[in-house]
Amino acid sequence: MSWSKMKQNLESFLCPALYGRVEYRATSYRYLPDKAGLCYIAVDKKNVLNMSDATHSIRWYQTELEIKNDSNIQIPISNEEIEAVRKDTKGAVPEDRLIVIARSRKISEYAKELMSAQSSLSKSNFIVVATKFLSISIDESIESNDILLNILALVDRRVGKKRILNMAEKMKLKHPSVQFFYELRLSTL
């Protein structure tokens, strides 16, 4: 599928309030036919999905330690996770330390997932992911671990107000770029 047709298809699914604010853009290299162009998403005429651009507002992590030390990350801990730690330590750890250990374990898992998602996004081909988005259900896109699929689903008109509002807890565990587009969509409700 050509880029212009792909762009037209993606824009046809944009939520009406974001039409004109969210744009899909591409660059190409006329004299280098073997070199692929760059595709990215712009919001209010600003490129928001460029990891190497230091002027954008989305945080890209370089190491797991940065994620663990980021005070903006709020990780909810369930009673089942605390019980799992209690079972692993055979009850020899004080109650307040159980919560700290459970949170540390969960943040480590979260950091690994974020780093994996970031690296797959930097290597991904926007057109391949967009084609996949156009061929799968909106539910699959929302539940996916792929950052780009999540973003395309969040700006989609098929995701209604009630579903957006019910996603608040899930969004806390997503990459900052996904959270950025979630906040953008919330601002249109």
- Decide: helix, strand or coil at residue 96: helix
pLDDT at residue number 55: 43
Q: pTM for this one?
A: 0.67
Cross-strand partners of 47 = 42
Q: Cβ neighbours of residue 16 under 8 Å, at least 6 residues apart? A: 157
Q: How far apart are CA 96 and CA 126, in angstroms?
A: 45
pLDDT at residue number 120: 57
Q: How far apart are CA 181 and CA 189, in angstroms?
A: 13
C-alpha to C-alpha distances, 42 to 26, 123, 147, nearest whole angstrom: 10, 19, 15
Q: How far apart are CA 183 and CA 172, in angstroms?
A: 11
Q: Cβ neighbours of residue 58 under 8 Å, at least 6 residues apart? A: 48, 49, 176, 177, 180
Q: How far apart are CA 56 and CA 39, in angstroms?
A: 16
pLDDT at residue number 186: 92
pLDDT at residue number 30: 58
pLDDT at residue number 56: 45
What string of DSSP letters covers 112-165? HHHHHHHHHHHH--HHHHHHHHHHS-HHHHHH-S-HHHHHHHHTBTTS-HHHHH
Instruction: List the pLDDT tens digit at each of the 189 positions of the chain.
Output: 777 888 889 899 999 999 889 988 776 655 555 555 566 788 888 877 754 434 445 556 667 777 777 777 777 788 888 888 888 888 788 888 888 888 888 888 877 777 776 665 554 567 788 889 999 999 999 998 888 889 999 999 999 999 999 998 888 878 788 888 999 999 988
pLDDT at residue number 53: 39
Cross-strand partners of 43 = 22, 46
